[in-house]
Amino acid sequence: MTSSLGTALVTGASSGIGATYADRLARRGYDLVLVARDAARLGQLAENLKSTYGVDADILRADLSERADVLKVENRLRTDETITLFVNNAGIGPNGPLLTADPDYLDRIVDINVGAANRLAVVAARIFAERNKGAIVNIASAVALAAPFFHGTYAASKAFVLALTESLAADFKDKGVQVQAVLPGYTRTEIFDRVGGSMDNLDPEAVMDAGDLVDAALAGFDQGEVVTMPSLSDYSLYEAFIAARNALRPNLSLRKPAVRYGLER
Ligand SMILES: NC(=O)c1ccc[n+]([C@@H]2O[C@H](COP(=O)([O-])OP(=O)(O)OC[C@H]3O[C@@H](n4cnc5c(N)ncnc54)[C@H](OP(=O)(O)O)[C@@H]3O)[C@@H](O)[C@H]2O)c1
């Protein structure tokens, strides 16, 4: 039997934040399509979700650095009319300082965190708008707002996801499509282990458990937040940041260069 909430398609569902979303959404009663490369882990998670929550859980093996596999996921979004929620989560972290990084690895960050994420978010938004129903959760990062203090390519990839979300949320808000960006800080997952790192040297007060992160993110989703920062207690700080950014708007595109450049003619 199909869930009345519909189906959630979650990328990067084999571990960490994505696997936790799969658990929490199944607990809410969503059926699941679980996407990642590791089919064995996905299969095990699907079996657990079916037996624990009595939902349907399907797996879709895809390497989102490969165009053909991105199109496979896109096709599932297009053809599976039960899908009502897309959790755009798959991503990879930096594997050392930018100054010494292998440019091929930087391309990989962009291919997965930007290329695949953009394609699938835009396609999902259009499909959901046609159906006048659906929601997209884009997993960005707090470093989207802290680029000078973090790995440039990774921070830029997440700033892309944040900007894309703000734009999609504005474009699709009257078309029945909810769009949210989640900006996690450090979250205890496999992300650093996968690139030979560890979270063990971080201040434990700065690292959130994946369960807490996803529960807070879903609470923000329920409240209709476009941008959710699970560790930010005083949301007016974010609103002040947006107000300061908006104050720049009248100055962003003008015929004449600014006086301070000394070009008055
Ligand atoms: N953990 C943090 O501190 C933190 C903070 C801010 C934002 N984030 C973001 O949160 C998201 C989830 O990361 P996580 O922390 O949960 O890390 P994680 O435990 O390493 O999980 C990453 C997931 O992405 C999948 N994935 C990686 N490469 C893939 C590829 N080429 N094709 C398809 N799937 C791929 C992995 O599955 P397979 O290996 O099976 O493919 C895995 O399911 C990422 O977008 C990350 O940037 C994490």
- Please provide the average confidence, as pLDDT, over all residues in the chain: 96
Ligand 1 touching residue 168 (CB < 6 A): no
Question: What would the pLDDT profile of 172-215 be if each residue is shown by its tens digit?
Answer: 999 999 999 999 999 999 999 898 888 988 999 999 999 999 99
Ligand 1 touching residue 36 (CB < 6 A): yes
Indicate the top mutation candidate among 10, 17, 45, 70 to test ligand 1's pocket, ranked by most ligand atoms within 8 A of CB: 17
Ligand 1 touching residue 18 (CB < 6 A): yes
From 105, 154, 235, 238, the catalytic residue: 154
Cα–ligand 1 centroid distance for 186 (angstroms):
13
Cα–ligand 1 centroid distance for 61 (angstroms):
15
Band the pLDDT of 264: cuts 50, 70, 90.
Answer: confident
User: Which helix (H) or strand (E) covers residue 72, if one does?
Assistant: helix 67-79
- List, in sequence order, every residue forming a beta bridge with 227; answer none if it has no partner: 181
Across the chain, the runs of DSSP E, i.e. the strands, are: 7-11, 31-36, 57-61, 83-88, 134-139, 177-182, 187-188, 208-209, 227-228
Is the pLDDT reported for residue 2 higher than 80? no
Is the pLDDT reported for residue 39 higher than 90? yes
Cα–ligand 1 centroid distance for 227 (angstroms):
20
Q: How far is CA 7 from CA 21, 32, 81, 214, in A?
A: 13, 5, 9, 18
Band the pLDDT of 120: cuts 50, 70, 90.
Answer: very high
Q: What is the pLDDT of residue 204?
A: 95
In sequence order, the 6+-apart residues with CB closer than 8 A to the CB of 27 are: 53
| Rounded distance between C-alpha atoms, residue 226 and residue 242, angstroms | 12
Reading the block at residue 160, the tokens are: 């892309």
Ligand 1 touching residue 65 (CB < 6 A): yes
Cα–ligand 1 centroid distance for 16 (angstroms):
7
Reading the block at residue 40, the tokens are: 């064995």
pTM above 0.95, yes or no: yes
Ligand 1 touching residue 94 (CB < 6 A): no
Which residue puts its alpha carbon closest to atom 42 of ligand 1?
Answer: 12
Q: What is the pLDDT of residue 182?
A: 98
Cα–ligand 1 centroid distance for 219 (angstroms):
21
What residue ranges define each of the domains in the chain, with the CATH number in brackets? 7-236 (3.40.50.720)
Q: What percent of the chain has pLDDT over 90?
A: 94
Ligand 1 touching residue 212 (CB < 6 A): no
Q: Tell me if residue 154 is catalytic.
A: yes
Indicate the top mutation candidate among 21, 92, 153, 201 to test ligand 1's pocket, ranked by most ligand atoms within 8 A of CB: 92
